[in-house]
Amino acid sequence: MHAQVVIVGGGPVGMLVAAELGAYGVRTLVLEERAGISGRPRASTLHARALQCLVRRGYLPELVPGAGGAGGVGVEATAPFHFAGLSGLAITAPAAEPGPILKRPQAELERVFEQRARSVGARVLRGYRVAGVAQDQGGVQVVAEGPSGVVLCTAEYLVGADGARSTVREQGGVACAVYPATVSALAGLVRLSDPDALPPGWHQTPRGWIVARNDPGQGTHIRTLNCAGEDPRRHLPLTLEELRQEVSRIAGRGIAMEDPRWLSRFSDFSRLARTYRSGRILLAGDAAHVHFPIGGQGLSTGVQDALDLGWKLAFTVRGLAGEGLLDTYDQERRPAARRVIDNTRAQLSLMRPDPGLDALRSLFNTLLGPGQEGGRLGDMISAQDTVLPRHTRCPSAWEGRFLQNVGLASREGPTDVIELLRAGEGRFLLLLFGECGSRYLREAQAWADGLCPVWAEPTPAVPFDALLVRPDGYVAWAPGGGSLDAALALYLRGIPAARREPVMPGVQALG
């Protein structure tokens, strides 16, 4: 089998990369070991920045009603959250954005992304386990075993989205920074013999933590945390009796349970790949980074990996990318994962049952209160404080910032950033404000293949004559730094002069 890109791993991250590549017309093949979508509870939280990037690419209208197309009209929304088990944290999303948090089962998101991937031409092979990976200067080869026997897949690039035990990462020879486990944790979905024995919420005792959440019709989701050290039984299957004993020990009283739907172990073991790109092999999601699962940041981090990688890899495969564009994937996403690993390790430190930490916990409780510094922690957990590394030699203050959903008055009527990025079909959005913006048109002619130019009335929300916005919503260039054409050369491959149109496509109609 031959494709332009092979993706190993058909979870939400792999399927989202496939959907992105397919939307750009890239021939994509997904190899997934599971025969179907797992209904086992996994991640269920999408944070604000992941949501904001998704709606700009046209995802989730079925899950986020009314996201985008609002002409910039909306109200600021806030959702309560937690930090290190402490209540009081609030995550706020700006007006006209989809919201601070979306709670949906990972299986539902995976299904949505797979449907989108298939609808744009991606081929998905389920039941295939990867047995071998190799690459050379001309491409990659993947050997997989499945229902039809052994298959050999060749492609220009390979994306490893195959989870924490990634075969692609291991056989691709990607080294990692590793932080060994220091705690043991158990999880399960069970039925409590007495539903009132363990109320929903976070429960701390001198012996550890219990987190309980009721799932009507299913039972009670339970997680425990024991900070005494790594569990020597970590490689053995968890039993119901072991979970019952641990919950009872931490609670200090007997808590009976039965009918386990699933049981598992986890820890604070953390891993970060030292590079997200090794030649023609790229990593995304848990294949690239693993951290202690607190704060619901894992799924959102993987989604943002996929959205950053998707358009860059598509531009590269289609010959539209500037030299070095694909390397910026590692430059942008690995530091983001580093921050997640660091903040989850910090949260775990606050959760350790050490009386010497009581004063520090009290201080954080104060900081999380209304009107205090909790907003910074909320922006960190939701990744809304993300500013990308600046790639131009003379960056403006806006380069790398995320452009919020500003309402705009184009010559075709009211619109907003989300609507324009969706309509741009994955191209860069070049906003031109008023007549002063026209001077940037000639400068951009050599890069017209990757641009969607739009005229708009000047607005105080964007204090420039022009603005270049990436497909994922981040600002690639603004006046005040280097030239527009120098910025475009970093991202896009120029087109020959003989092919350039006298007026860029779309400008005449909008102008």
Per-residue pLDDT tens over the stretch 290-342: 999 999 999 999 999 999 999 999 999 999 999 899 999 999 999 999 999 99
**CA distance readout (Å), 490 to 44, 247, 482:** 36, 55, 12
Average confidence (pLDDT) over 352-374: 84
Q: What is the SS3 assignment for 169?
A: helix
The answer to whether the beta carbons of residues 141 and 168 sit under 8 Å apart is: no
Phi, psi of 210 (to 5 degrees): -130, 130
Q: CATH number of the domain at 407-510, please?
A: 3.40.30.120
Alpha-carbon distance 431 to 450, whole Å? 14
Domain locations in the chain as residue ranges: 5-44+104-178+271-343, 184-266, 407-510
Query: 184-266 is classed in which CATH architecture?
Result: 2-Layer Sandwich (3.30)
Average confidence (pLDDT) over 14-18: 98
- pLDDT grade, residue 74 (50/70/90)? low
Looking at the chain, the whole-number percentage of residues with pLDDT higher than 90 is 77
The answer to whether the beta carbons of residues 403 and 417 sit under 8 Å apart is: yes
408-413 contacts at long range (C-beta below 8 A, 24 or more positions apart): 408/72, 408/456, 408/457, 408/459, 409/456, 409/457, 409/459, 410/454, 410/455, 410/456, 410/457, 410/510, 411/455, 411/510, 411/511, 412/510
The answer to whether the beta carbons of residues 270 and 291 sit under 8 Å apart is: yes
Query: 5-44+104-178+271-343 is classed in which CATH architecture?
Result: 3-Layer(bba) Sandwich (3.50)
Note the Cα 354 to chain centre separation in Å: 34
pLDDT of residue 368: 86
More confident residue, 233 or 21: 21
